[in-house]
Amino acid sequence: MEKIKNGIIKLLGENARYTAKQMADMLGEKEETVTMLMNELESSGVIVKYAAIINADAMQDSKVKALIEVKVAPQKLNGFDAYAEQLIHFPEVQSLYLMSGGFDLAVFVEGKDITDIARFVSEKLSIIDGIVGVQTHFILKKYKIEGQITKLPEKNKRQMFQA
């Protein structure tokens, strides 16, 4: 059963729009078995959400996205989890990860403009007790999202000439 579950996970990672029947055909299993295992994966929290990968650049989406690296002083008994618990509830926070390296948390945020992100950092993030440093990186262009290439880089169109 684990082999089938892993097959389902792999297929859904490639295309979340596959039906149970399509996956059953690809895995050589019965549709009922695949449906039952998908339900198990959902109820156990392995499958958290089915989502489309959106290339906002192609839609001329004006929202601004940023990665904010956050350095914290771990809280006694709670470590980093207490900070995560606070941050996950901000609507600007799209993703949050505990990291190794120079910063502790990677916070991916979204706002309507740069000022919106700046306001989030200054009015919400920096006032949390125990945050000792932040570094904000604005996302300028997306070449690949969740393993999917968004658009191949254009070839250099400059004319070469010699002097």
What is the per-residue pLDDT for 154? Answer: 64
How far is the C-alpha of 23 from the C-alpha of 34, rounded, in Å?
7
Question: Higher-confidence residue: 151 or 130?
Answer: 130
pTM: 0.74
Which residues, in sequence order, are CB contacts of 134 under 8 Å at separation 6+? Answer: 68, 69, 70, 71, 121, 125, 126
Structure confidence at residue 157 as a pLDDT band (50, 70, 90): low
Instruction: Fill in the amino acid letter for 122.
Output: S
pLDDT at 153 over 60: no
What is the per-residue pLDDT for 75? Answer: 78
What is the per-residue pLDDT for 158? Answer: 59
pLDDT digits (tens, 9 = 90+) for 143-152: 888 888 887 6
Structure confidence at residue 119 as a pLDDT band (50, 70, 90): very high
Question: Would you mind telling me the total number of residues written for the chain in this entry?
Answer: 163
Structure confidence at residue 55 as a pLDDT band (50, 70, 90): confident
Domains and CATH numbers, the chain: 2-43 (1.10.10.10), 56-142 (3.30.70.920)
pLDDT digits (tens, 9 = 90+) for 72-109: 998 787 889 999 999 999 999 999 999 999 999 999 99
pLDDT at 13 over 70: yes
